[in-house]
Copies of this chain bind each other. A is one copy, B any other.
Amino acid sequence: MFESVEIGHQTPKEEFEKLEPQLRADLLDAQFDLREQAPFSVVILINGVDGAGKGETVNLLNEWMDPRHIETQAFDSPTSEEAERPYMWRFWRALPPKGKIGVMFGNWYTDPIQERVEKLTKKAELDQHLDDIVRFESMLVREGVLLLKLWFHLPKAGQKTRLEALEKDPRTRWRVTELDWHYYKLYDRFREVAEHVLRRTSTGEAPWQLVDGSDPRYRALFVARALLDALRRRLDAASHHWEPRQTAPALPPVLDGQNLLNTLVLDQPLSKKDYNIQLEELQGRLAMLVRDKAFAARSLVLVFEGHDAAGKGGAIRRVTAALDARRYRIVPIAAPTDEELAKPYLWRFWRQLPRRGRVLIFDRSWYGRVLVERVEGYCSPADWMRAYAEINDFEDEIIAAGGIVVKFWLAISADIQLERFKEREAEPHKRFKITEEDWRNRDKWGEYERAVCDMIDRTSTENAAWTLVEANNKYYARIKVLQTLCDRIEAALKK
């Protein structure tokens, strides 16, 4: 795999000086078009052998282009902020918006490779990690990100020469550390692992490009040209209309009109008196659970979805009443901001993920992708069809990092909804709660119902099952939410 970057490519000084001005001008132009049209974002991964010129190349790109629109990110050991969240969190945070270029120096490949080189992980673990990466990158590409993966290579002898040269020069001596020589000794092992990683993660959508790091001039021209070509091709493609092929078969029809929602018995009895007794008891239990020592190492992510006027807000208030206000946060999800629209759709949820010991409550959530966006046609069928798997992967990552994910669908009947809408319109202090949109959504009751059922079928997983809450009676609904929540946390803390 490294054969052709071990040839020892070279560019003479005169040739470099002849090509440089035009290349810089072209790169600046392309960057300008990217910024102005902002049809996509660019992510450049910088990986490879130490001493192969990774840093110099990134510096050069910043010098040749407008550095205000390049976000260079270096990832060292995770900060405590980062360590308390899922592995991919810090990379999600660093994704550039449309119109910008993000250079990631040390990235999601760094740890898996390093850990395998040092034999801290087994081959099967590495492969599982790589498969997660392939799924993640595939999602990025489908979200329109232009992903450029550069691997800087030096043959073993070249690495030695280079480290020695750096050490000899008093101005660069500081750059060579003991760790560099430690890695040099691991060269063969590193090469072997790297070859495996490159091979498993070079997909048709996001292949690796190998960079011969031995000659600074050649290397610089190579990377600049690779970036320029990729930018130009995508800018051209973006100006064409493109319709994704809908290869997935249609979701199955419901034949007898029976589905998960309309077979629920929505009217469940519970008197106000019994409610008050149980409420106090359950809130007490919940308060104890989130103050348990074991909870300090976990986090809790709650998702509330449901029909309009199903009582999400009321249920959430009964939950938060038992929590410490410094340790929970409610995130109401409405239309995305401009900043959020410029990133892959899951970005705005990733950015919110809590640290250990905290509770995060989503009032509506990422499920908007397969509910409102599907029903209203805000995204294509191919987009929401792939979202089920992407959402499952997202929740898996939260859970793998110790999170507890509990999801509620609050269901009411169309009659009860109508009653509540009218009530709200009548009461001045509740009028803000009811909008034109609510009435419009009501007209699409059947379509939403279908989308909800598909959602539950496809995302009620072993780790993060949905709980359907019969909510015609608010008292009953709130108690069921609290009861489920306590049971789920208790079960999770026992593990």
Contacts and interface: CB of A to CB of B under 8 A. Distances in A.
A280 B259 CA distance: 76
B204 A255 contact: no
Nearest to A199: B461
B233 A253 contact: no
A60 interface: no
A260 B7 contact: yes
Interface stretch (A50-58, A67-75, A219-227, A425-433): A219-227
Interface of A: 1, 3-5, 7, 9-11, 124-125, 127-128, 131, 141, 146-148, 192, 195-196, 199, 202-207, 209-211, 218, 221-222, 225-226, 229-230, 233-234, 237, 242-253, 255-256, 258-260, 263, 382, 385-390, 392, 453, 456-458, 460-462, 466, 468
B385 A207 contact: yes
A124 to B, nearest CB: 5
Contact of A204 (B206, B387, B462): B387
A4 B259 contact: yes
Contacts of A237: 245-246
B386 A203 contact: yes
Nearest to A147: B249
A392 B4 contact: no
29 contacts: A1-B457, A1-B458, A3-B457, A3-B466, A124-B124, A124-B125, A128-B128, A148-B249, A192-B462, A195-B461, A199-B461, A202-B388, A203-B386, A204-B382, A204-B387, A204-B389, A205-B386, A206-B248, A207-B251, A207-B458, A210-B252, A211-B252, A222-B252, A225-B255, A226-B249, A226-B252, A229-B249, A233-B249, A244-B245
A255 to B, nearest CB: 5
Given A128-B124, A204-B385, A246-B237, A256 B218 contact: yes
Contacts of A202: 388-389, 458
A461 B199 CA distance: 7
A188 to B, nearest CB: 12
Contacts of A207: 248-249, 251, 385, 388, 458
A11 B233 CA distance: 54
Given A202-B388, A234-B247, 11 more contacts: A7-B263, A148-B249, A199-B392, A202-B389, A202-B458, A204-B388, A204-B389, A207-B248, A225-B253, A225-B255, A242-B245
A256 B462 contact: no
Contacts of A7: 258-260, 263
A249 B44 CA distance: 11
B229 A250 contact: yes
B9 A255 contact: yes
B460 A1 contact: yes
Contacts of A258: 7, 9-10
A207 B246 CA distance: 12
A245 to B, nearest CB: 5
A249 B222 contact: no
Contacts of A457: 1, 3-5, 210
Interface centre among A242, A256, A392, A460 (most CB of B within 10 A): A256
Given A204-B387, A258-B9, A249 B146 contact: yes
Interface centre among A125, A234, A387, A389 (most CB of B within 10 A): A389
Query: What 4 pairs between A and B have smallest CB-CB spacing?
Result: A204-B386, A230-B249, A131-B131, A204-B385
Nearest to A16: B255
Nearest to A232: B250
A462 B230 contact: no
Given A388-B207, A462-B199, A260 B4 contact: yes
A389 B245 contact: no
Nearest to A148: B249
Contacts of A244: 245
